[in-house]
Amino acid sequence: MITRDSDEKLLDSYSQTVSDVFQKTSAAVVNIDVKHAGQGSGSGFAFTPDGFLLTNSHVVHGAKRIDVTFVDGRRAQAHLVGDDPHTDLAVIRVIAPNLNYVQLGNSSRIRVGQIAIAIGNPYGFQCTLTAGVISALGRSMRSQSGRLIEQIIQTDAALNPGNSGGPLFNSQGEVVGINTAVILPAQGICFAIPSNTAQFIVAELLRHGRITRGFIGVMGQNVLLPKGMIHIGKAEVESGVSVSGFEQNSPADRAGLHVGDVIVAMDDQLVTNIDDLHRLLTNQAVGRRFMLTVIRDFERVVLDIVPESNR
C-alpha cells in the first residue's frame, strides 16, 4: 500500500534529481543572439572547456554575427565552425576563460518513461528549466532542407521558441538530445536530435567544417509504378524516384540517366522513395561504384554510377 509519506518521499526524490541536474549543468547553457537579414535567438551549450558550443543549424545558419550570453552575464562573439542543415546541428566557438561544459551521453541507453530535463531560453527568458519524460523513441522528422532526420527523441518537457539548440538531459546530467522542434498547437509534443547523432556530426564538423555525403546530381520525385510492371516481374517495388532532371557532368549524367527514368534500386538495396536514396548516399558511398537499377520505357535498365562528395 502506497502511503502519503511514500508519495512525499517520491516527489522529494524527483525534485531533488531535477534540481541537482540544474545546479550541475545550467552554467554551460547559453543564450544565442543572431543577426542576419533580421534578428533571431536560440539556445546552445558548451561541450568542451575550450569554447566549442553545440546548437541548431536553423539558429545560426547564414548569420552575419553570433553573440553568446552566459548565465553569469558575460557576453562574447562567436564564430561558426560548421553546420549541417540536414540534421539541424551546428558547432560555434567562443574565446572565453573558465567555461563550464557538459558531456554528451549515450542516447541509445535512454528508455521511454525516463526523466527528461530541458534547459534553454524560451522567448528570451534565460536559463529556464522544464522537465518531463521521454515520450517516445525512433521518431522521424524533416529538417528545413527536406531531408529526413531519424531516431528523433520525443519528450513532453515543454519547449518554446528560443529553446532551439538547448540540451535535453537525463537524470545524471548527461546530454541525450538537442532540442529542435515542437508541434503547434499540440501540447507536450516536442522533439530532440539524439546525442549519438550529434557526436558523429560534431566530429565531422570539427575536422572538416561540413558533412560529407554522397552526391549523384539527380532532381527527382516519388512516383508509383504501373501495377502491370509488378505483376510481370519487371519491378520489385511499387514506387520509386522519378528523375525530373540532373546536373551536367554529374555522376547521374555520366552514368547515362535519362529524364523520366525511375530509380528503384542501388546494388541490392531497394529504392522506393527519395528518403531511401538519401539513406544510401552517405559518406561511405563516395567513390564507390554502384549498380543503379531504373525503369525506362517499361524495361529494367542497370547502370554503373559512382557518387561524388556533395558540393
Choice among 58, 84, 135, 276 that is catalytic: 58
Mark whether 169 and 220 lie in a shared domain.
no
Q: Is 88 a catalytic residue?
A: yes
Q: Which of 211, 243, 271 is the last residue of a domain?
A: 211
Choice among 84, 88, 261, 276 that is catalytic: 88
What are the backbone angles phi and psi of residue 231, rounded to the nearest 5°?
A: -65, -35
pLDDT for 2: 54
The average confidence (pLDDT) of the chain is 92
Mark whether 201 and 230 lie in a shared domain.
no
DSSP for 239-288 reads EEEEEEEE-TTSHHHHHT--TT-EEEEETTEE--SHHHHHHH-SGGGTT-
Q: What is the pLDDT of residues 82-109, one digit of tens each?
A: 999 999 999 999 999 889 999 999 999 9
Q: Is 164 a catalytic residue?
A: yes
Cell of 193: 536530435
Choice among 26, 43, 107, 164 that is catalytic: 164
pLDDT higher than 70, residue 10? no
Structural domain for 299, as ranges: 214-309
What is the band of 195 on the pLDDT scale with cuts at 50, 70, 90? very high
Q: Is 268 a catalytic residue?
A: no
Mark whether 28 and 145 lie in a shared domain.
yes
Mark whether 114 and 25 lie in a shared domain.
yes
pLDDT higher than 70, residue 233? no
Distance, in Å, from the CA atom of 260 to the CA atom of 268, rounded to the nearest integer, reads: 22
Read off the CATH number of the domain in which 171 is found.
2.40.10.120
Q: Which of 148, 182, 211 is the last residue of a domain?
A: 211
Q: What is the pLDDT of residues 251-291, one digit of tens each?
A: 999 999 999 999 999 999 999 999 999 999 999 999 999 99
